Amino acid sequence: MDRMKLKRMVFYGYHGVFPEENKLGQQFFVDLDLRLDLGKAAESDDVNDTVNYAEIHALVKEIVQGPPVKLIEKLAANIAHGVLGTYTSINEATVSVTKPHPPFDITFDGVVVELRRKRNADGSIEAVPAAEED
């Protein structure tokens, strides 16, 4: 299966458990690793034969800048379900959400949550079991 990656998309959102996160907001970084067949687009050189990454970016932006959630785990799941629900040609999506400046009194480069979801034959979306991860 081919892959399309969108790396380090930067958005501003109001997600978090603490009231100041919901009031002040902060940056979030999102990485997507999408699995789909890119063969037709590779041959045709036609954007209509692939998924338009500008549209995917706009969808992720809408989700991150949309209604706040408490956990970045939920935010990552919302992104995965949004992408897989919108683009039926995408078979799997690995989503990484980074909160680079969580409001903790410790120093580190941020908190990252990564999850992987796939589309089943019946169209439902489920987590990829650890045994299937590469």
Catalytic residues: 99
Quick one: which of 17, 13, 31 has its CA closest to 116?
Answer: 31
Work out the number of other CB atoms within 10 angstroms of the CB of residue 133.
Answer: 8
Helix or strand holding residue 119 (H, E): strand 111-119
Taking Cα atoms as reference points, which of 109, 91, 90 lies closest to residue 100?
A: 109
The SS3 call for residue 44 is helix
